[in-house]
């Protein structure tokens, strides 16, 4: 008897922790054959392999080795290479997660070659079309056959874009499946010791969005703000390669060097980062996923963006959307330091079982 064949796609760092619980869940189904494809959008050890190791992901069945490039180049290269894999492997289903360039590139190939497309983390909208991810989200949702939602607000977004919500299923959050599974193991890591950090007495920072790091004035102001915060407590800042490059271009390294409490480190692995998040006083970020993870951990999160595509984290979670205004960023940080940080709750269905729900729905509808 033939099996249901699914290609699971990953490309960039935020994809790995989303696919891991799905890969693990599919293993329980004898009738499903799975194939893991890595486009190679992210390729540095610390942006990719380390995550495979930390998350117990199997070695990809296929690695496209696409690498960095402009949006057109990167998306186009993935499409050209993934088409060949599609023709060779002939999957019934292609499953993509999140909103990176690899997500839309593989999605386009999949539907044009007759596979069903599954989008995990569908329906999120920042309503800011200058974000490359927003375009990737809108287009991927338009062509998907199954839309798996992390929060109910996404139903309305899909409906507003004329998408039949019968295709949409509210299942919870696979990123949180990974977090809950690995939280205990993360607690055993040694990164706090290595960085000489006291639990509950440091701020954790990540910044990598083009809108924050590609503009000289914005990037400089943000770094100055971090330096000011570091006068109150140590600031741990694992620096994304894009940000590292831009800081060099803008000559910001000397500013940072003057502040001994600024701890710039290489990008951390999944478990080390989770240990840092779980023990931080607060997190300051422009990431999407970290807004969700801090909400589940109950750690206050200051988001240095004008909007969020994950409104539930601000409505019920610990997230505060502050924008890029340094006064507002500092005011929120001081509020938290004064013990008046936002307390939140865990959103509905963020219970560690999203992957289970997703695979069940796929098997019930597509199983052979």
Q: How far apart are CA 254 and CA 243, in angstroms?
A: 15
Tell the smallest beta-carbon distance from residue 356 to ligand UD1 (Å): 26
**41 lines the binding site for ligand UD1 (CB under 6 A):** yes
- Provide the mask over 203-242, with x wherever binding to ligand UD1 is found by CB under 6 A and - wherever it is not: -----x-------------------------------xxx
- Provide the mask over 243-282, with x wherever binding to ligand UD1 is found by CB under 6 A and - wherever it is not: --x-------------------------------------
Tell the smallest beta-carbon distance from residue 8 to ligand UD1 (Å): 17
Q: How far apart are CA 368 and CA 366, in angstroms?
A: 6
Specify the stretch interacting with ligand UD1 by CB under 6 A; choose among 6-14, 172-180, 185-193, 256-264.
6-14
Are 23 and 1 within 8 A, CB to CB?
Answer: no
Angle at 51 between CA 46 and CA 53, to 5 degrees: 110
H-only helix segments in the chain = 13-26, 49-55, 71-89, 101-112, 132-143, 153-160, 174-187, 191-194, 210-213, 216-229, 241-249, 253-257, 270-279, 289-297, 312-315, 326-337, 354-366
Tell the smallest beta-carbon distance from residue 258 to ligand UD1 (Å): 26
Ranges within 134-193 binding ligand UD1 (CB under 6 A): none
**47 lines the binding site for ligand UD1 (CB under 6 A):** yes
* Residue 342 CB neighbour total at 10 angstroms: 18
| Candidate residues 29, 35, 43, 155; the one interacting with ligand UD1 per rule CB under 6 A | 43
Task: Give me the sheet containing 62-63, strands edge to edge.
Answer: 62-63, 32-38, 4-10, 93-97, 116-120, 146-149, 168-170
Active-site annotation holds for 208: yes
Catalytic option among 38, 42, 119, 208: 208
| Candidate residues 49, 128, 132, 155; the one interacting with ligand UD1 per rule CB under 6 A | 132
| Candidate residues 133, 141, 278, 332; the one interacting with ligand UD1 per rule CB under 6 A | 133
Active site residues: 208
């Amino acid at each position: 008897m033939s099996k249901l064949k699914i290609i699971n796609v990953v490309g960039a760092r935020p994809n790995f922790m989303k696919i891991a619980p799905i890969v693990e869940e599919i293993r329980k189904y004898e009738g499903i054959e799975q194939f893991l494809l890595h486009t190679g959008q992210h390729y540095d050890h610390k942006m990719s392999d380390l995550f495979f190791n930390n998350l117990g992901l199997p070695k990809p069945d296929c690695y496209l080795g696409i690498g960095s490039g402009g949006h057109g180049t990167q998306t186009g290269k993935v499409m050209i290479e993934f088409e060949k894999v599609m023709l060779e492997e002939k999957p019934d289903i292609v499953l993509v997660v999140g909103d990176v360039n690899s997500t839309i590139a593989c999605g386009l190939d999949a539907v044009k070659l007759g596979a069903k497309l599954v989008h995990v983390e569908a329906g999120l909208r920042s309503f800011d079309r200058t974000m490359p991810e927003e375009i990737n989200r809108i287009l991927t949702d338009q062509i998907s056959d199954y839309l798996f939602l992390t929060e109910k607000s996404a139903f309305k977004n899909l409906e507003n874009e004329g998408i039949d919500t019968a295709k949409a299923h509210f299942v919870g959050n696979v990123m949180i499946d990974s977090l809950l599974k690995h939280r205990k193991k993360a607690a055993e890591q040694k990164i706090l010791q290595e960085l000489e950090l006291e639990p509950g007495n440091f701020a954790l920072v990540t910044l990598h969005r083009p809108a924050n790091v590609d503009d000289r004035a914005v990037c400089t102001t943000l770094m100055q703000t971090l330096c000011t915060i570091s006068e109150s407590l140590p600031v741990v800042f694992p620096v994304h390669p894009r940000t590292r490059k831009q800081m060099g271009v803008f000559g910001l390294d000397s500013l940072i060097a003057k502040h001994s409490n600024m701890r710039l480190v290489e990008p951390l692995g999944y478990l080390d980062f989770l240990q840092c998040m779980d023990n931080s006083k607060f997190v300051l970020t422009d990431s999407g996923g970290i807004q969700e993870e801090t909400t589940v951990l109950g750690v206050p999160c200051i988001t240095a963006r004008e909007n969020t595509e994950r409104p539930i984290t601000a409505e019920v979670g610990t997230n505060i959307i502050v924008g890029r205004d340094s006064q507002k960023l500092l005011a929120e940080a001081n509020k938290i330091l004064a013990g008046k940080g936002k307390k939140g709750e865990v959103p509905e269905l963020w219970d560690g079982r999203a992957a289970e729900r997703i695979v069940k729905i796929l098997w019930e509808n597509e199983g052979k």
